[in-house]
Amino acid sequence: MIAQRCRDFVSVVRLRNGSAVADCRSVLDLLSLGASNGTTVHLEATGEDAAEVINAIVAMFDARFNEDEESQ
């Protein structure tokens, strides 16, 4: 979901889990973070639409990736 959403933007987006860094456009990179539920991660973006992509990704986390809707 994150990788797909990031492709709508031109900014470079990265997610950090400790010293591990993932390019958010790459599902494989994101999986390699090993960030399980409850892990604190740090999101960063650089580029002309950095604020918008940060807001979009934060909204996904805030909505818990719509987990509640999928479990019904």
What domains appear along the chain, each with residue ranges and CATH number?
2-66 (3.30.1340.10)
- SS3 assignment, position 44: strand
- Residue 45's H or E segment, with its range, is strand 42-46
Write the pLDDT tens digit of every residue in 11-44. 999 999 999 999 999 999 999 999 988 899 999 9
Does residue 71 surpass a pLDDT of 70?
no
Taking alpha carbons only, the member of 21, 5, 24 closest to residue 13 is 24
d(CA 57, CA 11) in angstroms, rounded, equals 13
Taking alpha carbons only, the member of 46, 47, 40, 8 closest to residue 25 is 8
On whether the pTM is more than 0.75, the answer is yes
- SS3 assignment, position 10: coil
Does residue 70 surpass a pLDDT of 80?
no
